[in-house]
Amino acid sequence: MTQLSVQPDRRAARGEHIRESDGRRLRRTMNREAVLDALLALFRDGVYQPSTAEIAQRAGISPRSLFRYFDDVDDLHRAALNRQLHRALPLVDLGIEPTAPTAVKIVSVVRARARLWEEMAPAARALRAASHRHQQLARELRRNRAFMRDQLHAVFQPELARFGDGGLPAIEVMCSFESYELLRFDQRLSKARAEAVLVAALGALLAGPGGTDGNPAHP
C-alpha cells in the first residue's frame, strides 16, 4: 500500500517538472523571437546599428537578459538576417532558364532582384553597416554575394561565353543591392523606373560582342 500511495506523487512531481521545463523553453523561444522582431523593426525604422538598450526596450525585456538568447552581437545580427532571408526565400529564385531568350532573361532577372531588394532593403543596409566591424557578418555577406553571383552565371552562361573575364563582374554590379539602392534612394527613382534603367543597362552590355537575340523588353 505504501508503494501505491507514493508512485502517483512521483509521477505528479515528474509531470510538473516537465511542464515547468516546457514553459521555460517556450518563454525562451518567445523572448528570442521578440528580440529578432525588435531588431528587424529597428532596421525598418532606419536604425541600422541600434544599441543593446534600444533592442531590449523594443523587445520588452531587460538589457541584461538580451544575451541570454544570443552569444554576442554577431550572433544576434546573423539570426536576424537569417530570419529575413527565410521570409524572402521565395524571392531568391530568378524564375528563368538559361535557354530562354536573352531579352526575356534580362527582364526576369531584373524583376526578381528588384522584388528581393525591396523586401530585404532594411536588413541589407544593416548588414553592410555592421560587416566592417564584425568578421562573421562580413563572411556572411560574402557568401550571399557568391550565391547570387553563381545564380547570374548560371542564367547568363550562354551570353557570357562571348565575353572575357569582365562579363560576369559587370552583370553582378548591375544586379547588386548597391546599384538598386543607388537608383531607388539616391536618385529617387520609382521601382518601375529603376527596373527600366537596369533592363536597359543589361541589354546594352549583353548587346556588345555578338549582340542579343532581340531588344530587351521593358518591365
The full set of domain ranges for the chain reads 2-68, 73-206
Strand ranges, E, within the chain: none
In sequence order, which residues have a C-beta less than 8 Å from that of residue 191 and are 6 or more positions away? 114, 118, 184
Measure the CA–CA gap between 212 and 47, rounded to whole angstroms: 43
Measure the CA–CA gap between 17 and 21, rounded to whole angstroms: 6
Instruction: Please tell me the predicted confidence (pLDDT) of residue 109.
Output: 97
Instruction: Please tell me the predicted confidence (pLDDT) of residue 117.
Output: 95
- Per residue of the chain (219 residues), give pLDDT as tens: 444 444 556 555 555 544 445 556 677 788 888 899 999 899 888 888 888 899 999 988 888 888 888 888 888 888 888 888 788 888 899 989 999 999 999 999 999 999 999 999 998 888 888 888 878 888 888 998 999 999 999 999 999 988 877 899 999 999 999 999 999 999 999 999 999 999 999 999 998 654 444 455 445
Please provide the size of the chain in residues. Answer: 219
Diameter over CA atoms, the chain:
94
99 DSSP assignment: T
Measure the CA–CA gap between 149 and 144, rounded to whole angstroms: 9
Instruction: Please tell me the predicted confidence (pLDDT) of residue 105.
Output: 97
| Assigned C-alpha cell, 200 | 536597359
Residue labelled with grid coordinates 549583353? 206
Q: Are 216 and 103 in contact (CB under 8 A)?
A: yes
Predicted structure pTM score: 0.74
